[in-house]
Each structure stands twice: as C-alpha cells, then as structure tokens.
Amino acid sequence: MQHWEQERWDRLQRGDRDAMAELVRETSAVLYRIAARLTENPEDAEDAVAETYLAAMKTLPRFERRASLKTWLIRILVRQARRRPSQRATSLDASWPAAEIDLCGNLVLAEALERLAPKLKEALILVKVGGLSYREAGEALKVPMGTVQFRVFEATRQLRKRLERPSPSVCEPEICEAEA
C-alpha cells in the first residue's frame, strides 16, 4: 500500500472530517458512474453513492486495510446497488448520452447490459466503467481475479451477440435517424 494511502487511512480512521470530504471529492464521480449502470436509474445511483459513504464511515474504525480505499468503497457500493431492484431509465437519459447515441442502430447498450446476469454485469461495469483492473475488481467482488476475467469475457461475448442483433423494441429506426 502506498504511503499516501496509509496516511489517508490514518486520517479517516481518526475521524478527520477533511479527509472524508477529500475522499468524496475524489471518488464520488466514479462511484456514481458505476452505480448509474448497476441501478440503471440516476436517482437510485446517487442514493447508492451517499449510502456507500455512510456505510463506509460506520465501518471505518474497525476496517482492516487489505484493499485500496477505492476498491473498498466500490465493494460497499456493489452491496448497496444489489439491494435496489434494477430499473432502467425509461428514456435515453441525459446521464450518458454519448454511449447511447453513438451506438444507436447497432449497439443499444443499456438494453443489452440489462439482460446480462447480475454477476457478469457487475464484473463488466467495474472493469470497463469503473476502470478497475481484474485484480481490483476481484477484491471488490470478493472473487478470484480469474473469475473476473471469465465474467468480463462472458459478459462481453453475450453483449456482442445481442448488440449485433439489436432488439427492434429498443432501437427504433426513427430514433436512430433523428439522432444521426
């Protein structure tokens, strides 16, 4: 563990308010992006992120420093997101326009992600959206690194199959033409 990370843990475990605020500033954006994809709902995503920090503050004093702060927070976030039933936003939401519009016609990402098994989806999102390495994602999901590798592969394979044949219900030609 890096020296600065050790120092950060020290400060957090001593209850340093500034350290907590710094942590929120540094990690809230990535936590939100992950939560948004896991819950498929921007409001739920924000709730999940806030609850993640609350849960983190509760467990901080007795937490053993086996993982990096980011991985630890993401592990809590995944638990928070699992408690919420996934409900995809009904429209192409403003939270992630680029991905949807770029791929409309060929890849309608949200719909395809939604159909993945939860375990596959979590691994894929942690690696691709959260930018975690397979090892870090393994720590966050409490599974071996190899399991993450397999899940990301399987998720990508299924995603690719579905995106090659987009469902007509989610990829209306007029929407694609309008976006183009």
Partner 1 sequence: MKCREIERWLTSLVDGELEFSRQKEVELHLKDCPSCQTTMSTLAEMDRVLRSDGNSPSDLEDRILHRLEGSMPHRNLNMEKRTMILRKSLMATAIFAVATFGLLQLTTPSAEAAYDRMHAAFQKADGVCISMVRALPLPIRESKIWIQGGSMRIEQSGSPTLIVRNGYQFSKGPQGLDRSVSTWSIKEVMAILDFRNVRSSSEAVESGRIRLIGTDRLTVERLVRLQIEPEELVDWATRMSVWIDQKSNLPLKAVREAYVDDRWQVQLEMRFEYSMSLPPGFFDPKSLIERS
The contact set with partner 1 (CB under 8 A) reads: 1, 7, 10-11, 14-18, 20-21, 24-25, 28-29, 32-33, 36-37, 42, 46, 49-50, 53-54, 57, 66-67, 95-96, 98-99, 102-103, 107, 109, 124-125, 127-129, 131, 133-135, 138-139, 144-150, 152-154, 156-157, 159-160, 163-164
Residue 17 or 85 having the CB closest to partner 1: 17
d(CA 158, CA 50): 32
Residue 42 or 105 having the CB closest to partner 1: 42
d(CA 78, CA 6): 24
> Do residues 152 and 125 lie in contact, with contact meaning Cβ atoms separated by under 8 Å?
no
Residue 27 or 177 having the CB closest to partner 1: 27
- Three-class SS of residue 74? helix
* Angstrom distances, CA of residue 140 to CA of 13, 60, 78, 133, 178: 20, 16, 8, 10, 40
CB of 113 to partner 1, least distance (A): 9
CB of 178 to partner 1, least distance (A): 20
CB of 82 to partner 1, least distance (A): 20
Residue 50 or 175 having the CB closest to partner 1: 50
Residue 6 or 178 having the CB closest to partner 1: 6
d(CA 143, CA 157): 20
CB of 87 to partner 1, least distance (A): 17
Quick one: 92 exposed, middle or buried, by C-beta within 10 A (0-12, 13-18, 19+)?
middle
CB of 145 to partner 1, least distance (A): 6
d(CA 48, CA 84): 9
d(CA 165, CA 171): 10
CB of 175 to partner 1, least distance (A): 17
Residue 78 or 159 having the CB closest to partner 1: 159
